[in-house]
Amino acid sequence: MKSSVITFPGSNCDRDMDVALKKFGFKNKMVWHDDAELPKSDLVVLPGGFSYGDYLRCGSMASKSKIMQSVVNFASSGGMVMGICNGFQILVETGLVPGVLLRNKYLEFICKNVFVKINDKKNKYFKNVNNEVLEFHIAHNEGNYFCTNDQLKEIEDNNQIAINYCDENGKIEDQFNPNGSIKNIAGIFNKEKNVLGMMPHPERMIDTSLSGEDGSLFFKNLINNLK
Amino acid sequence: MIVNEQVAVDHGLKKDEYAKICELLKRTPNITELGIFSAMWNEHCSYKSSRLHLKKLPTKGKKVIQGPGENAGVIDIEDNDAIVFKIESHNHPSFIEPYQGAATGVGGIMRDVFTMGARPIANLNSIHFGSPQNKKTKNLLRGVVHGIGGYGNCMGVPTIAGQTSFDSSYNGNILVNAMTLGLVKKDKIFYSKAAGLNKPVIYVGSKTGRDGIHGASMASASFDEKIEEKKPTVQVGDPFTEKLLLEACLELMAGDSIIAIQDMGAAGLTSSSIEMASKGNLGIEINLNKVPCRESKMTPYEIMLSESQERMLIVLENGKEEQAKKIFDKWNLDFAVIGKTTKSKKIELYFDEEKVANIPVNTLVENSPMYDRKWKKTKLPKKNKIKKEVIKHLKIINVLKKILANPNICSKEWIWQQYDHTVMGDTIQKPGGDAGVVRVHGTDKAIAASVDSSAVYCWAHPLTGGKQVVCESFRNLISVGAKPIAITNCLNFGSPENEENMGEFVECVQGIGEASDYLNFPVVSGNVSFYNQTKDQGIKPTPAIGGVGLIKDYKNMITMEFKEVDNLVLVIGKTEGHIDQSLFSRTILDEKNGPPPEVNLFNEKNNGETLLKLIDDNLIKSAHDVSLGGIITGVAKMCIKGKKGININKPKYLINEIEYLFAEDQGRYIVEINKKDFKKVADILNKNAVHFDELGTIAENELYINDKTKVTIDELSTWNKGWLLNYMSK
């Protein structure tokens, strides 16, 4: 399986993602934002970080990068595109997934482990994951997902919510919402579910010595689903 | 502008210093030259009051590749890997503008590290605020934490450990000390020494603006009521540009075109160009019209003294300019050839085709003033008599509740959750333990780092306090299973012109030196911050020690949380019941006098090394050093983190229970072992003449003391976590 990770000026989880993808069997290439063409890929990842310093609006300037036109074309033709954290912010700015990401409710950067409940498994990202609840890691300042009521209705009708913040038993309640996201949304798909944007960083949980191993589970499953 | 004595005094120079400048130049300096002298000769850059004493610190060792004098220290961690590290203060700017002050402190120290070719892999910090009741404290804390996070998070470097304290002596002068560790290949370390004639001098990074002019001079003076007026001397940080600068510099460093490189930190272009010339015994000629400026009509004076952030000065090999420029263009950064190296041994500046400065480099560096300031020795205070009557009536649980919720003991989760501590994917021990630990990427090795200070001990008796901080750093590294290698120090003191403050400095440095020498734990880098005082009131002496150690196989790292019910808990090291200057004494007995606990360097070394041996033999399940709050506080934290209880039986001692549990004797650790290993462990400890006590057994979820006192771990956790959250949400 071939993957591509895009590096924008200010990306800082690009190397971590490269390490994770390679660990689970992807042949990964790093792609510079100013390139026009994507290499042949089965998966394109927009990594976390602070592209363009989060200036103007998080993800906004990166969404206008030269490479993004190719990424949009790739996604429109059904290609798998995953945006993590700042990558999620870039995805909403390009319009590949609906909604926006606002500043966290308590106006503070949050770095900690959270639990997320998988809402939909009829997609290549979460199909065949045995668990209902995963322990993931978040590190962000603007992860407060927001959309209009109409958008929310559409999202729910199409089953586009990927994961929600919850407790270890899968209970989705306000108190388990770290950033004020509407409906505890931690990740969301496009209508076709080939594009996934999510705040948590599975690449930081790929070995028992780190924050946990549920990231390993995610990547192992992902590569199997793509085969 | 005409330069005279008054203008020099307004620049922070003393009258005799001005006379010396005129004598060295054999003429009156012009205003640009005066500015340059004032920037180079202030306390912050010249170490004029401290140099004499810093010379006495042990700085050499088998593992030391580079000691003090470069941008940062470098130590050998084998396999051609090296760690570059340093701690630096940004106290004055952080009090005036907490967000930018703290942010640029973090940015500055990271630049010091990557200037040497190392990729930063971990950040730490030591921050100290006034009393929580002081009306400024909360906003300063919030601003500093946001600033540290704002810069470090954006750079993508994990903040893995730190220290926060509150004390009324910091009401008017907070302390913000930032430390960075970087990883480099031993054969790819870059230095600031220029070499060769007619080599191009290159300016890269952000443009130069009017921010931070005289920042270093500000940091060399005391505060008064007009402090708000100094806001324009605080630099403004742009972590995004620094991230680009980091990547661009590392890309350029992968080749072989750099002769010397130096970041523009305090005193900007002035100190960076002079330092490179001085180390290379060369001259430098700069055309200031070539310096990229952010604002129009900047004068030579402003350009030379600006402390705009995210800038570097590089001496390149001839003919490599184009190749280097391409890299900086790719990262959208300014790149300008602004001058060349010369044989004149002078710093020669041109502006609008006129020579605007012409100063022999040695007058600025070797001939800079050095003072043997008067200082006063601090006598060891008399011990207080234990107030047995008062102690008898105290309930242990009530005392423990107060201690766990004390601002200097309570959980700092609110702070470190705002720092990205997991980016780079190698953080294997997060903040909240004895030391932060990161793996050396792609290897089995890991690096442990901790930052410590004990201002109260240093205030009570500077010599003992100085030794104690080094020992605490040593213990924190050992507690996570790391072999201590070297330290960096940030020496925060009041005015050196005050005999008592100067005495505190001299004796703390002596203590640091004695301990680091004995423990083979040399000082490889550091920074002095004097004038942490408002009007006549100085801070408590606060040397902060950043320690670094190596874990050969990261899988053998130790953490402090209790692991398994029925395991035994031992206290390594002897408890004498030293209560004076303990948190117990100050908060419960309201007794502020008395000597700090005695430091016995033999015991420190012997106890620590023996524990490392036990760890190497896989006999230790968890470990934690005993420090502020004594044994019971340490045990409570191990319970909270492990979500386990303990059954404590006080060993038979002459001292009473409270003294045993809350005393702050040094050289002690709490460790968890498996029952079946007891004989082996006891044998090793006895063979090495290390005293130990059997403290108790790990239980389900309650802490019992002698079967009569008990409390649930949930309660302990609530006491410990509550204070800071409540304080910040009010």
User: How much of chain B exceeds pLDDT 90, in percent?
Assistant: 91
Asked if residue B469 lies in contact with residue B165, where contact means CB atoms within 8 angstroms, the answer is: no
Which residues are bridge partners to B489 per DSSP? B526, B545
Nearest CA in chain B to A35: B330
Span B64-73, mean pLDDT? 96
What's the confidence (pLDDT) of residue B218? 60
Instruction: For residue B178, give the 3-state DSSP assignment.
Output: strand
Which is catalytic among the residues A13, A58, A85, A166? Answer: A85
Residue B394 has pLDDT above 80, yes or no: yes
CATH number at residue A108: 3.40.50.880
pLDDT computed for residue B230 by the predictor: 65
pLDDT of residue B186: 97
The CA dihedral of B697, B699, B705, B706, to the nearest 10 degrees, is -60
What is the rounded average pLDDT of the residues A116-135? 96
What is the mean pLDDT of the segment spanning B647-656? 84
CA distance A149 to chain B (A): 31
Whether B228 shows a pLDDT value over 70: the answer reads no
Please, what is the Cα angle at B519 between B517 and B524, to 5 degrees?
Answer: 60
Residue the block writes with tokens 């002298």: B37
Nearest to B250 by CA among B425, B86, B111: B111
* Element of type H or E holding B125: strand B119-129
* CB distance A88 to A181 below 8 Å: no
- pLDDT digits over A49-74, tens only? 999 999 999 999 999 999 999 999 99
What is the mean predicted confidence (pLDDT) over B430-451? 97
Provide the mean pLDDT of chain A: 97
- With an 8 Å Cβ cutoff, are A141 and B153 in contact? yes
Chain B contact probe: residue of A52, A60, A109 with most B CBs at under 10 A: A109
Asked if residue A227 belongs to a domain, the reply is no
- Which amino acid is located at B691 in the chain? H
Interval B368-390: pLDDT, tens: 999 999 999 999 999 998 778 88
Alpha-carbon distance B428 to nearest alpha carbon in chain A (angstroms): 5
Task: Confirm whether A33 is a catalytic residue.
Answer: no
CA distance A38 to chain B (A): 19
* Beta strand B427-429 pairing with B436-439: antiparallel
With a cut of 70, say whether residue B216 has pLDDT above it: no
Answer yes or no: is pLDDT of B293 > 90: yes
Query: Which residue of chain A has the CA closest to B427?
Result: A210
Helix (H, G, I), strand (E, B) or coil at B172: coil
- In the predicted structure, residue B231 carries a pLDDT above the cut 80: no
* Chain B contact for A108 (CB, 8 A cutoff): yes
Q: What pLDDT score does B314 carry?
A: 97
Chain B residue nearest residue A9, CA to CA? B244
Q: Per the CB < 8 Å rule, is B425 touching A112?
A: no
Cβ of residue A55 closer than 8 Å to a chain B Cβ: yes
Task: Kindly state whether residue A226 falls inside one of the protein's structural domains.
Answer: no
Residue A201 annotated in active site: yes
Residue A224 inside a domain? The answer is no
| pTM score | 0.96
Residues of B with catalytic function: 44, 90
Q: B233-242, B306-315, B370-379: which range is least confident on average?
A: B233-242
Using CA atoms, how far residue B631 sits from B229, B602, B606, B619, in Å, is 47, 21, 20, 21
Which residue of chain A comes nearest to B243, CA vs CA? A10
Mutate to test the interface with A, among B119, B145, B153, B551 (most CBs of A within 10 A): B153
Give the contacts of A182 (CB within 8 A, at least 6 positions apart). A145, A146, A147, A152
Q: What pLDDT, on the 0 to 100 scale, is given for residue B16?
A: 95
Q: Does A13 touch chain B (CB under 8 A)?
A: yes
Distance from the Cα of B606 to chain A's closest Cα (Å) equals 30
A201 touches chain B (CB under 8 A): yes
pLDDT tens-place string over residues B1-15: 789 999 999 999 999
Instruction: Assess if residue A170 is contained within a domain.
Output: yes
Which residue among A10, A139, A211 sits closest to B243, beta carbon to beta carbon? A10
A154 is a domain residue: yes
Number of domains in chain A: 1
Q: Which of residues 130-189 of B touch A (CB under 8 A)?
A: 146, 149-150, 153-156
Which residues of B fall within a CB distance of 8 Å from A201? 422
Amino acid letter, residue B123: N
What b/e sequence results for B306-319 when a residue is b if at least 16 CB atoms lie within 10 Å of its CB, and e otherwise?
Answer: bbbbbbbbbbbbee
CB B399 within 8 A of CB A187: no
- SS3 call for B58: coil
Residue A22 lies in a domain: yes
Quote the ipTM score.
Answer: 0.97
Residues B343-363, mean pLDDT to the nearest whole number: 97
Contact A139 B423 (CB under 8 A): yes
Classify residue B385 by its DSSP letter. Answer: P
Q: Reply yes or no on whether the pLDDT at B227 is more than 70.
A: no
- Closest partner residue to A109 (CB to CB) among B155, B239, B418 is B418
- Residue B386 has a pLDDT of 79
Domain that holds residue A84: 2-218
Residue A48 in domain? yes
Residue A223 placed within a domain? no
Nearest to B201 by CA among B273, B119, B126: B273
Q: Are A162 and A126 spatial neighbours (Cβ–Cβ below 8 Å)? A: yes
Report CB contact under 8 Å: B240, A141. no
Q: Which residue of B has its CA nearest to A55?
A: B240
CB B438 within 8 A of CB B426: yes
Q: Alpha carbon of B396 to those of B625, B656, B661: distances in Å? A: 21, 12, 9
pLDDT band, residue B200 (cuts 50/70/90): very high
Rounded Cα distance between B84 and B472, Å, is: 22
Tally A–B CB contacts below 8 A. 84
- Is residue B232 predicted with pLDDT exceeding 70? no
